[in-house]
Structure 1
């Protein structure tokens, strides 16, 4: 009869192996999704990239939409941590960090928004991401949104800040406009600072 510590060790090892397999599958899906339109992503290719069988993918995630949902949920948690870290001591610091964030993640975020309707469960996650962005803007620039403003004006100011700091604005400036990251940062600040109180502009 095996001792309890041995059984526990084997159970722990199996659980860790299963978790690592799941992470490999999610990593493979993320790479495929970043490079390929969603409707052209094949689970067989994801499985091959992860070094597992398609049956393993189906058993773990149920379907291609289920796999994308799991991937997006994991990435949203990581992105939220990165966005939280982008809040700086000044608007200039915050915008610098935000542009750096979009340099790494902006294209994938915009792709998700554009293709969300193709997979059940993903539109809700995209909406959650938009709500997070609004909350982040409200918190990141709270000191700059004049406390003395009337409710309607304050709501309009926040909506403007949300638009200026959106990934779409980054794309228009950086990709469509051909600006460098430094020029994009400067352009965002030129749009943002007039919306903030004088004391917050630095």
Structure 2
């Protein structure tokens, strides 16, 4: 008689297999969403990419809307970690890391914002992402934004920094204007530095 693995181990193995399946489905949805308009994505294609049945996908995520929301939720956590890592010890280092971040993730972020309204639950996640961007800008440049300024000036300076560091500004410089990554970084720096430090009065 063959030895049977202890029940807790068998359940853990099943849970791990289910987790891997879920990750494959999310990866497949992310790959589709990155290149295909959301309303043209078919669950059949996502399931085929993930090498699962449509029934498995539906059992796990319910609907295409639910699948996109789960995908965005996972990516939000990952992107937040990458944004935290992009905080440097100077405005120059921070902007260098931010441009590198947008080179990897900017197009996907902008597509999410553009199509968020098409899926229930995703607009809330997009709003969380925007709120995180504001908090990130505040934390990344807190020392340079001079806490001693009056409240109105600090709020205006922060709003300007948020706009300059937004993915849309990166897109305008990088693609609409045809700048290289280095040129984009320099352009952002030239706009940002005057907002920081005591020279602003």
Taking structure 2 as the reference length, what is the TM-score of the superposition? 0.96
Query: Partners of 2:103 and 2:148 in 1: how far apart?
Result: 35
In the alignment, which residue of structure 2 is the partner of 1:91?
A: 91
Query: Partners of 1:3 and 1:148 in 2: how far apart?
Result: 71
How far residue 117 of structure 1 moved from its aligned partner, in angstroms, is 0.5
Instruction: Name the SS for the 2:149 alignment partner.
Output: coil
Q: Given the alignment of the two structures, is residue 188 of structure 1 paired with residue 188 of structure 2, yes or no?
A: yes
Q: How is 1:1-202 mapped onto 2 (pairs within 5 angstroms)?
A: 6-198=6-198
Query: Partners of 1:56 and 1:156 in 2: how far apart?
Result: 50
Query: Partners of 1:162 and 1:3 in 2: how far apart?
Result: 61
Structure 1 ranges of 4+ moved more than 2 A: 2-5
Taking structure 1 as the reference length, what is the TM-score of the superposition? 0.95
For structure 2, which runs of at least 5 residues remain unmatched after alignment? none
Query: Partners of 2:186 and 2:172 in 1: how far apart?
Result: 14
How far residue 102 of structure 1 moved from its aligned partner, in angstroms, is 0.1
Instruction: Name the SS for the 2:143 alignment partner.
Output: helix
User: What is the RMSD computed on CA atoms of the aligned residues?
Assistant: 1.6
Instruction: Name the SS for the 1:179 alignment partner.
Output: coil
Query: Partners of 1:108 and 1:79 in 2: how far apart?
Result: 11
Query: Partners of 2:198 and 2:52 in 1: how far apart?
Result: 57
How far residue 3 of structure 1 moved from its aligned partner, in angstroms, is 8.5
Query: Partners of 1:163 and 1:89 in 2: how far apart?
Result: 21
